[in-house]
Structure 1
Amino acid sequence: MFDRLRTPPEKTIAFTIAVIALSAKMAKADGLVTREEVMAFREVFHIPPEDEEGAARVFNLARQDVAGFEEYAKRIRVMFGADQGTLCDLMEGLFHIAMADGSYHPGEDAFLARVAEIFDLPDTAFRRLKSRFVPDAEPDPFDVLGVTPDMPLGEIRAAWRQLVRDSHPDRMIARGVPEEAVKLSERRLIDINRAWEDISARAHA
Protein backbone atom coordinates (compact mmCIF):
# COMPACT_ATOMS: atom_id res chain seq x y z
CA MET A 1 0.00 0.00 0.00
CA PHE A 2 1.02 3.62 -0.14
CA ASP A 3 3.60 4.63 2.43
CA ARG A 4 0.95 6.44 4.47
CA LEU A 5 -1.00 3.22 4.70
CA ARG A 6 1.69 1.35 6.63
CA THR A 7 1.17 2.69 10.14
CA PRO A 8 -1.73 2.38 12.64
CA PRO A 9 -4.65 2.28 12.12
CA GLU A 10 -3.56 1.15 8.66
CA LYS A 11 -2.00 -2.05 10.02
CA THR A 12 -5.22 -3.27 11.61
CA ILE A 13 -7.15 -6.21 10.21
CA ALA A 14 -10.31 -4.09 10.22
CA PHE A 15 -8.70 -1.52 7.93
CA THR A 16 -7.33 -4.16 5.57
CA ILE A 17 -10.70 -5.87 5.24
CA ALA A 18 -12.48 -2.54 4.72
CA VAL A 19 -10.10 -1.47 1.93
CA ILE A 20 -10.28 -4.85 0.16
CA ALA A 21 -14.08 -4.95 0.38
CA LEU A 22 -14.51 -1.33 -0.73
CA SER A 23 -12.18 -1.90 -3.69
CA ALA A 24 -14.07 -5.06 -4.70
CA LYS A 25 -17.39 -3.24 -4.57
CA MET A 26 -15.86 -0.40 -6.60
CA ALA A 27 -14.98 -2.94 -9.28
CA LYS A 28 -18.59 -4.18 -9.22
CA ALA A 29 -20.12 -0.68 -9.47
CA ASP A 30 -20.49 -0.90 -13.27
CA GLY A 31 -22.09 -4.35 -13.00
CA LEU A 32 -19.07 -6.42 -14.02
CA VAL A 33 -15.75 -7.12 -12.30
CA THR A 34 -13.10 -7.37 -15.01
CA ARG A 35 -9.66 -8.95 -14.96
CA GLU A 36 -8.18 -5.48 -15.51
CA GLU A 37 -9.89 -4.15 -12.39
CA VAL A 38 -8.60 -7.02 -10.28
CA MET A 39 -5.09 -6.39 -11.59
CA ALA A 40 -5.46 -2.66 -10.87
CA PHE A 41 -6.35 -3.46 -7.26
CA ARG A 42 -3.28 -5.67 -6.91
CA GLU A 43 -1.08 -2.92 -8.42
CA VAL A 44 -2.11 -0.21 -5.98
CA PHE A 45 -2.90 -2.16 -2.82
CA HIS A 46 -0.12 -4.70 -2.27
CA ILE A 47 -1.00 -7.67 -0.09
CA PRO A 48 1.79 -9.72 1.58
CA PRO A 49 2.09 -13.21 0.03
CA GLU A 50 1.12 -14.90 3.29
CA ASP A 51 -2.15 -12.92 3.38
CA GLU A 52 -3.15 -13.31 -0.27
CA GLU A 53 -5.41 -16.31 0.26
CA GLY A 54 -7.43 -14.56 2.94
CA ALA A 55 -7.51 -11.32 0.93
CA ALA A 56 -8.80 -13.21 -2.11
CA ARG A 57 -11.66 -14.66 -0.05
CA VAL A 58 -12.67 -11.21 1.19
CA PHE A 59 -12.42 -9.71 -2.32
CA ASN A 60 -14.44 -12.48 -3.96
CA LEU A 61 -17.16 -12.30 -1.34
CA ALA A 62 -17.41 -8.52 -1.46
CA ARG A 63 -17.47 -8.28 -5.25
CA GLN A 64 -20.72 -10.22 -5.53
CA ASP A 65 -22.67 -6.97 -5.24
CA VAL A 66 -22.28 -3.29 -4.35
CA ALA A 67 -24.54 -3.44 -1.30
CA GLY A 68 -22.86 -2.46 1.95
CA PHE A 69 -20.09 -0.34 0.47
CA GLU A 70 -21.17 2.70 2.49
CA GLU A 71 -20.57 0.85 5.76
CA TYR A 72 -16.98 0.04 4.77
CA ALA A 73 -16.40 3.65 3.70
CA LYS A 74 -17.76 4.89 7.04
CA ARG A 75 -15.45 2.56 8.97
CA ILE A 76 -12.44 3.89 7.08
CA ARG A 77 -13.60 7.49 7.62
CA VAL A 78 -13.82 6.95 11.39
CA MET A 79 -10.33 5.42 11.46
CA PHE A 80 -8.70 8.46 9.89
CA GLY A 81 -10.75 11.33 11.21
CA ALA A 82 -9.49 14.57 9.69
CA ASP A 83 -6.58 12.96 7.80
CA GLN A 84 -7.82 13.85 4.33
CA GLY A 85 -4.44 13.17 2.75
CA THR A 86 -4.75 9.43 3.34
CA LEU A 87 -8.41 9.44 2.35
CA CYS A 88 -7.47 11.15 -0.93
CA ASP A 89 -4.81 8.47 -1.48
CA LEU A 90 -7.50 5.83 -1.09
CA MET A 91 -9.81 7.67 -3.48
CA GLU A 92 -6.98 7.80 -5.99
CA GLY A 93 -6.65 4.02 -5.77
CA LEU A 94 -10.40 3.58 -6.28
CA PHE A 95 -10.33 5.83 -9.37
CA HIS A 96 -7.44 3.75 -10.69
CA ILE A 97 -9.57 0.62 -10.34
CA ALA A 98 -12.60 2.30 -11.92
CA MET A 99 -10.64 3.31 -15.02
CA ALA A 100 -8.75 0.02 -15.40
CA ASP A 101 -11.17 -1.24 -18.06
CA GLY A 102 -10.89 1.99 -20.06
CA SER A 103 -14.37 3.37 -19.35
CA TYR A 104 -16.07 5.40 -16.63
CA HIS A 105 -19.56 4.07 -15.93
CA PRO A 106 -22.32 6.23 -14.33
CA GLY A 107 -22.52 3.60 -11.61
CA GLU A 108 -18.84 4.10 -10.85
CA ASP A 109 -19.30 7.87 -10.75
CA ALA A 110 -22.18 7.56 -8.29
CA PHE A 111 -20.18 5.10 -6.17
CA LEU A 112 -17.10 7.32 -6.00
CA ALA A 113 -19.11 10.48 -5.37
CA ARG A 114 -20.84 8.80 -2.42
CA VAL A 115 -17.54 7.51 -0.99
CA ALA A 116 -16.04 11.01 -1.28
CA GLU A 117 -19.11 12.37 0.52
CA ILE A 118 -18.70 9.81 3.33
CA PHE A 119 -14.99 10.65 3.54
CA ASP A 120 -16.09 14.29 3.92
CA LEU A 121 -13.85 15.36 1.03
CA PRO A 122 -14.62 18.77 -0.51
CA ASP A 123 -16.32 18.81 -3.91
CA THR A 124 -13.18 20.46 -5.29
CA ALA A 125 -11.08 17.47 -4.18
CA PHE A 126 -13.46 15.03 -5.87
CA ARG A 127 -13.54 17.06 -9.09
CA ARG A 128 -9.74 17.29 -9.03
CA LEU A 129 -9.38 13.52 -8.78
CA LYS A 130 -12.04 12.91 -11.42
CA SER A 131 -10.43 15.32 -13.89
CA ARG A 132 -7.10 13.49 -13.54
CA PHE A 133 -8.49 10.04 -14.21
CA VAL A 134 -11.52 10.50 -16.47
CA PRO A 135 -10.52 11.63 -20.00
CA ASP A 136 -13.63 13.71 -20.77
CA ALA A 137 -13.76 15.42 -17.35
CA GLU A 138 -12.56 18.96 -17.96
CA PRO A 139 -10.13 19.92 -15.16
CA ASP A 140 -10.37 23.28 -13.45
CA PRO A 141 -6.79 24.45 -12.76
CA PHE A 142 -7.83 26.02 -9.47
CA ASP A 143 -9.42 22.74 -8.35
CA VAL A 144 -6.26 20.86 -9.31
CA LEU A 145 -4.16 23.06 -7.02
CA GLY A 146 -6.82 23.20 -4.30
CA VAL A 147 -7.02 27.01 -4.47
CA THR A 148 -9.62 29.61 -5.43
CA PRO A 149 -9.52 32.28 -8.16
CA ASP A 150 -9.69 35.10 -5.60
CA MET A 151 -6.44 34.09 -3.87
CA PRO A 152 -3.30 36.20 -4.47
CA LEU A 153 -1.00 34.73 -7.11
CA GLY A 154 1.76 34.38 -4.51
CA GLU A 155 -0.40 32.11 -2.36
CA ILE A 156 -1.36 30.05 -5.38
CA ARG A 157 2.31 29.72 -6.31
CA ALA A 158 3.10 28.54 -2.78
CA ALA A 159 0.32 25.94 -2.96
CA TRP A 160 1.65 24.74 -6.33
CA ARG A 161 5.21 24.40 -5.00
CA GLN A 162 4.03 22.42 -1.99
CA LEU A 163 2.05 20.04 -4.20
CA VAL A 164 5.10 19.57 -6.43
CA ARG A 165 7.22 18.67 -3.40
CA ASP A 166 4.61 16.28 -2.05
CA SER A 167 3.99 14.58 -5.39
CA HIS A 168 7.48 14.38 -6.89
CA PRO A 169 8.24 10.80 -8.05
CA ASP A 170 11.74 10.92 -6.52
CA ARG A 171 10.17 11.50 -3.13
CA MET A 172 7.70 8.68 -3.69
CA ILE A 173 10.52 6.32 -4.71
CA ALA A 174 12.49 7.28 -1.61
CA ARG A 175 9.46 6.38 0.49
CA GLY A 176 9.46 2.92 -1.07
CA VAL A 177 5.92 3.02 -2.46
CA PRO A 178 4.78 0.50 -5.11
CA GLU A 179 5.74 1.16 -8.73
CA GLU A 180 2.13 1.87 -9.72
CA ALA A 181 1.87 4.49 -6.98
CA VAL A 182 4.96 6.18 -8.42
CA LYS A 183 3.29 6.22 -11.84
CA LEU A 184 0.21 7.81 -10.31
CA SER A 185 2.40 10.48 -8.72
CA GLU A 186 4.03 11.21 -12.08
CA ARG A 187 0.62 11.69 -13.62
CA ARG A 188 -0.42 13.90 -10.70
CA LEU A 189 2.72 16.04 -11.08
CA ILE A 190 2.03 16.65 -14.78
CA ASP A 191 -1.49 17.84 -13.97
CA ILE A 192 -0.25 20.06 -11.13
CA ASN A 193 2.33 21.79 -13.33
CA ARG A 194 -0.14 22.18 -16.19
CA ALA A 195 -2.63 23.82 -13.82
CA TRP A 196 -0.03 26.29 -12.55
CA GLU A 197 1.03 27.18 -16.10
CA ASP A 198 -2.62 27.84 -16.99
CA ILE A 199 -3.25 30.05 -13.94
CA SER A 200 0.05 31.89 -14.34
CA ALA A 201 -0.65 32.56 -18.02
CA ARG A 202 -4.09 33.99 -17.18
CA ALA A 203 -2.59 36.26 -14.51
CA HIS A 204 -0.02 37.69 -16.93
CA ALA A 205 -2.29 37.92 -19.95
Structure 2
Amino acid sequence: MSFWNRLGEIICRIPGGCVLVDHVVEAVRSAFGTAEERRHAAFSISMIALSAKMAKADGVVTSDEIAAFKELFEIPEGEKRNVARLFNLAKQDVAGFDAYARRMRGLFDDGSEIFEDIVDGLFHIATADGALHEDELAFLRQVAVIFGIPEAAYSRIESRHVVPAEGDPYLILGIERSASNDDVKRHYRRIVSETHPDRLIARGVPAEFIAIATQKVAALNDAYDRIRRERAFA
Protein backbone atom coordinates (compact mmCIF):
# COMPACT_ATOMS: atom_id res chain seq x y z
CA MET A 1 0.00 0.00 0.00
CA SER A 2 1.35 3.42 -0.95
CA PHE A 3 2.19 6.23 1.47
CA TRP A 4 -0.82 8.27 0.36
CA ASN A 5 -3.16 5.27 0.62
CA ARG A 6 -2.16 4.71 4.25
CA LEU A 7 -2.32 8.42 5.01
CA GLY A 8 -5.78 8.50 3.44
CA GLU A 9 -6.91 5.64 5.68
CA ILE A 10 -5.76 7.56 8.78
CA ILE A 11 -7.70 10.63 7.68
CA CYS A 12 -10.80 8.56 6.91
CA ARG A 13 -10.84 7.22 10.47
CA ILE A 14 -10.80 10.68 12.07
CA PRO A 15 -14.17 11.23 13.80
CA GLY A 16 -16.29 13.89 12.13
CA GLY A 17 -16.60 17.28 13.71
CA CYS A 18 -13.12 17.54 15.18
CA VAL A 19 -9.51 16.57 14.68
CA LEU A 20 -8.39 14.39 17.57
CA VAL A 21 -4.68 15.04 18.00
CA ASP A 22 -3.92 11.89 19.98
CA HIS A 23 -5.88 9.79 17.51
CA VAL A 24 -3.87 11.11 14.57
CA VAL A 25 -0.51 10.82 16.34
CA GLU A 26 -1.08 7.24 17.41
CA ALA A 27 -2.42 6.30 13.98
CA VAL A 28 0.76 7.64 12.37
CA ARG A 29 2.92 5.68 14.81
CA SER A 30 1.10 2.42 14.12
CA ALA A 31 0.53 2.78 10.38
CA PHE A 32 4.08 3.71 9.37
CA GLY A 33 6.83 1.31 10.37
CA THR A 34 9.99 3.24 9.53
CA ALA A 35 11.21 6.56 10.89
CA GLU A 36 11.34 7.97 7.35
CA GLU A 37 7.70 7.05 6.68
CA ARG A 38 6.63 8.56 10.00
CA ARG A 39 8.49 11.78 9.21
CA HIS A 40 6.79 12.01 5.82
CA ALA A 41 3.35 11.33 7.33
CA ALA A 42 3.92 13.72 10.24
CA PHE A 43 5.09 16.45 7.88
CA SER A 44 2.12 15.99 5.55
CA ILE A 45 -0.49 15.94 8.31
CA SER A 46 1.18 18.87 10.09
CA MET A 47 1.10 20.92 6.91
CA ILE A 48 -2.51 20.05 6.08
CA ALA A 49 -3.95 20.66 9.56
CA LEU A 50 -1.78 23.64 10.53
CA SER A 51 -2.34 25.26 7.13
CA ALA A 52 -6.07 25.10 7.68
CA LYS A 53 -5.83 26.37 11.26
CA MET A 54 -3.45 29.16 10.29
CA ALA A 55 -5.64 30.23 7.36
CA LYS A 56 -8.53 30.51 9.80
CA ALA A 57 -6.51 32.53 12.31
CA ASP A 58 -7.69 35.85 10.86
CA GLY A 59 -11.29 34.66 10.82
CA VAL A 60 -11.67 33.77 7.14
CA VAL A 61 -10.15 31.26 4.74
CA THR A 62 -9.75 32.99 1.37
CA SER A 63 -9.68 31.41 -2.08
CA ASP A 64 -6.10 32.70 -2.45
CA GLU A 65 -5.05 30.80 0.68
CA ILE A 66 -6.69 27.60 -0.54
CA ALA A 67 -4.97 28.03 -3.92
CA ALA A 68 -1.63 28.59 -2.16
CA PHE A 69 -2.13 25.39 -0.20
CA LYS A 70 -2.76 23.48 -3.43
CA GLU A 71 0.40 24.98 -4.95
CA LEU A 72 2.52 23.40 -2.22
CA PHE A 73 1.14 19.87 -2.43
CA GLU A 74 0.97 17.59 -5.46
CA ILE A 75 -1.76 15.33 -4.12
CA PRO A 76 -2.73 12.17 -6.03
CA GLU A 77 -6.18 12.57 -7.55
CA GLY A 78 -7.61 9.67 -5.57
CA GLU A 79 -6.54 11.18 -2.23
CA LYS A 80 -7.75 14.74 -2.71
CA ARG A 81 -11.05 14.01 -0.97
CA ASN A 82 -9.27 12.73 2.16
CA VAL A 83 -6.91 15.70 2.26
CA ALA A 84 -9.85 18.07 1.81
CA ARG A 85 -11.64 16.33 4.70
CA LEU A 86 -8.76 16.88 7.12
CA PHE A 87 -8.32 20.47 5.90
CA ASN A 88 -12.03 21.22 6.37
CA LEU A 89 -12.14 19.65 9.83
CA ALA A 90 -9.09 21.58 10.96
CA LYS A 91 -10.21 24.95 9.57
CA GLN A 92 -13.42 24.96 11.64
CA ASP A 93 -11.59 27.06 14.21
CA VAL A 94 -8.09 27.94 15.39
CA ALA A 95 -8.48 26.33 18.83
CA GLY A 96 -6.03 23.60 19.65
CA PHE A 97 -3.32 24.43 17.12
CA ASP A 98 -0.71 24.68 19.87
CA ALA A 99 -1.49 21.20 21.23
CA TYR A 100 -1.46 19.84 17.69
CA ALA A 101 1.93 21.40 16.95
CA ARG A 102 3.41 20.02 20.20
CA ARG A 103 2.21 16.48 19.54
CA MET A 104 3.33 16.52 15.91
CA ARG A 105 6.75 17.74 16.99
CA GLY A 106 7.09 14.55 19.03
CA LEU A 107 6.84 12.45 15.86
CA PHE A 108 10.13 13.84 14.56
CA ASP A 109 13.32 12.37 15.94
CA ASP A 110 15.49 15.41 15.37
CA GLY A 111 16.28 18.42 13.27
CA SER A 112 14.90 21.92 13.37
CA GLU A 113 15.27 22.18 9.59
CA ILE A 114 12.09 20.23 8.88
CA PHE A 115 10.20 22.45 11.33
CA GLU A 116 11.52 25.43 9.41
CA ASP A 117 10.20 23.84 6.21
CA ILE A 118 6.73 23.59 7.77
CA VAL A 119 6.75 27.22 8.92
CA ASP A 120 8.06 28.23 5.49
CA GLY A 121 5.02 26.60 3.90
CA LEU A 122 2.67 28.21 6.39
CA PHE A 123 4.08 31.64 5.55
CA HIS A 124 3.47 30.96 1.86
CA ILE A 125 -0.21 30.39 2.61
CA ALA A 126 -0.52 33.28 5.07
CA THR A 127 0.77 35.82 2.55
CA ALA A 128 -1.15 34.43 -0.45
CA ASP A 129 -3.96 37.00 -0.16
CA GLY A 130 -1.48 39.88 -0.20
CA ALA A 131 -1.66 40.69 3.49
CA LEU A 132 -0.33 39.14 6.68
CA HIS A 133 -2.88 39.62 9.45
CA GLU A 134 -1.52 40.21 12.97
CA ASP A 135 -3.39 37.10 14.18
CA GLU A 136 -1.75 35.02 11.47
CA LEU A 137 1.65 36.41 12.42
CA ALA A 138 1.00 35.58 16.08
CA PHE A 139 0.00 32.06 15.03
CA LEU A 140 3.20 31.61 13.01
CA ARG A 141 5.41 32.91 15.81
CA GLN A 142 3.80 30.57 18.34
CA VAL A 143 4.18 27.54 16.07
CA ALA A 144 7.85 28.45 15.58
CA VAL A 145 8.33 28.66 19.34
CA ILE A 146 6.64 25.28 19.87
CA PHE A 147 8.84 23.75 17.18
CA GLY A 148 11.94 25.19 18.85
CA ILE A 149 12.98 27.26 15.85
CA PRO A 150 15.67 29.79 16.86
CA GLU A 151 14.68 33.44 16.61
CA ALA A 152 17.31 34.11 13.93
CA ALA A 153 16.02 31.27 11.76
CA TYR A 154 12.43 32.45 12.20
CA SER A 155 13.43 35.99 11.21
CA ARG A 156 15.06 34.67 8.03
CA ILE A 157 11.88 32.83 7.09
CA GLU A 158 9.70 35.85 7.84
CA SER A 159 11.94 38.18 5.83
CA ARG A 160 11.69 35.94 2.75
CA HIS A 161 7.90 36.16 2.72
CA VAL A 162 6.82 39.50 4.16
CA VAL A 163 8.83 41.98 2.05
CA PRO A 164 11.41 39.88 0.15
CA ALA A 165 12.11 42.54 -2.49
CA GLU A 166 12.69 45.21 0.16
CA GLY A 167 13.91 43.16 3.12
CA ASP A 168 17.46 42.98 4.37
CA PRO A 169 19.30 40.64 1.96
CA TYR A 170 21.81 39.74 4.67
CA LEU A 171 19.00 38.65 6.97
CA ILE A 172 17.39 36.64 4.18
CA LEU A 173 20.68 34.83 3.54
CA GLY A 174 21.45 34.56 7.25
CA ILE A 175 24.90 36.12 7.12
CA GLU A 176 26.55 39.09 8.84
CA ARG A 177 27.18 42.31 6.92
CA SER A 178 30.81 42.10 8.01
CA ALA A 179 31.34 38.84 6.08
CA SER A 180 33.90 38.96 3.30
CA ASN A 181 32.91 38.53 -0.34
CA ASP A 182 34.35 35.02 -0.36
CA ASP A 183 32.41 34.15 2.80
CA VAL A 184 29.20 35.46 1.24
CA LYS A 185 29.77 33.31 -1.86
CA ARG A 186 30.51 30.17 0.17
CA HIS A 187 27.54 30.73 2.45
CA TYR A 188 25.18 31.31 -0.47
CA ARG A 189 26.31 28.15 -2.25
CA ARG A 190 25.92 26.10 0.93
CA ILE A 191 22.39 27.21 1.78
CA VAL A 192 21.23 26.82 -1.82
CA SER A 193 22.65 23.29 -1.75
CA GLU A 194 20.78 22.61 1.50
CA THR A 195 17.56 23.70 -0.19
CA HIS A 196 17.93 21.20 -3.05
CA PRO A 197 14.86 18.91 -3.23
CA ASP A 198 17.00 15.84 -2.51
CA ARG A 199 18.14 17.39 0.78
CA LEU A 200 14.57 18.24 1.77
CA ILE A 201 13.38 14.71 1.02
CA ALA A 202 16.27 13.27 3.04
CA ARG A 203 15.15 15.15 6.17
CA GLY A 204 11.53 14.09 5.84
CA VAL A 205 9.82 16.42 3.40
CA PRO A 206 7.67 14.36 1.00
CA ALA A 207 8.48 14.70 -2.70
CA GLU A 208 4.99 16.14 -3.21
CA PHE A 209 5.97 19.20 -1.19
CA ILE A 210 9.19 20.27 -2.88
CA ALA A 211 7.52 23.29 -4.51
CA ILE A 212 8.53 25.25 -1.40
CA ALA A 213 12.19 24.70 -2.33
CA THR A 214 11.71 26.58 -5.61
CA GLN A 215 10.31 29.61 -3.81
CA LYS A 216 13.02 29.59 -1.18
CA VAL A 217 15.81 29.39 -3.76
CA ALA A 218 14.26 32.29 -5.69
CA ALA A 219 14.33 34.46 -2.54
CA LEU A 220 17.91 33.44 -1.77
CA ASN A 221 18.99 34.16 -5.36
CA ASP A 222 17.41 37.62 -5.23
CA ALA A 223 19.08 38.43 -1.89
CA TYR A 224 22.47 37.24 -3.16
CA ASP A 225 22.13 39.27 -6.37
CA ARG A 226 21.38 42.42 -4.36
CA ILE A 227 24.44 41.90 -2.18
CA ARG A 228 26.57 41.17 -5.23
CA ARG A 229 25.43 44.36 -6.95
CA GLU A 230 25.94 46.37 -3.77
CA ARG A 231 29.48 45.08 -3.35
CA ALA A 232 30.21 44.94 -7.09
CA PHE A 233 31.74 41.46 -7.11
CA ALA A 234 31.27 38.75 -9.73
The reply to whether TM is greater than 0.5 is yes
2:56 corresponds to 1:19:
no
- Between the aligned partners of 1:191 and 1:15, the Cα distance in structure 2 is 23
Bigger drift between 55-64 and 38-47 goes to 38-47
| CA apart distance, 1:171 | 9.4
Aligned length in residues: 195
1:57 and 2:85 correspond: yes
Letter in 1 for 2:115: L
User: Is the deviation greater in 133-142 or in 67-76?
Assistant: 133-142
Match of 2:154 in 1: 126
Letter in 1 for 2:138: A
List gaps (5 residues or longer) in structure 2: 1-34, 201-205
Asked if the contact 1:30–1:107 (Cα under 8 Å) also holds between the matched residues in 2, the reply is yes
Higher gyration radius (CA) = 2
Q: 1:9 aligned to 2:38?
A: yes
Pairwise mapping of residues 1-205 of structure 1 onto structure 2 (< 5 A)?
7-12=36-41, 16-135=44-163, 138-151=166-179, 153-167=181-195, 177=207, 181-182=210-211, 184-199=212-227
Task: Identify the range of structure 1 (34-43 vs 73-82) with the bigger mean alpha-carbon deviation.
Answer: 73-82
Q: Give 3-state SS (helix, strand or coil) of 1:148's partner.
A: coil
1:122: how far off? 1.7
Label 1:146 to 1:112 Cα distance change in 2 as closer, same or farther (>3 A): same
Answer yes or no: is the 8 Å Cα contact 1:145–1:160 preserved in 2: yes
* CA deviations over 1:46-76 (Å, ceiling 9, x no partner): 3333333332222112111111111121123
Task: Tell me the TM-score normalised to structure 1 length.
Answer: 0.76
CA, structure 1 residues 136+148, in 2 after alignment: closer, same or farther (shift >3 Å)?
closer
Contact 1:125 1:143 in 2 (8 A): no
| Worse-matched range after superposition: 41-50 or 86-95 | 41-50
Instruction: Using structure 2 for the length normalisation, give the TM-score.
Output: 0.68
Is 1:128–1:139's contact at 8 Å kept on the other side of the alignment?
Answer: no
**Alpha carbon RMSD of aligned pairs, Å?**
3.3
Residues 18 and 75 of structure 1 are in contact (CA less than 8 Å); yes or no, is this contact kept in structure 2? no
State the 4+ residue runs in structure 1 displaced beyond 4 angstroms. Answer: 150-153, 168-172, 197-205
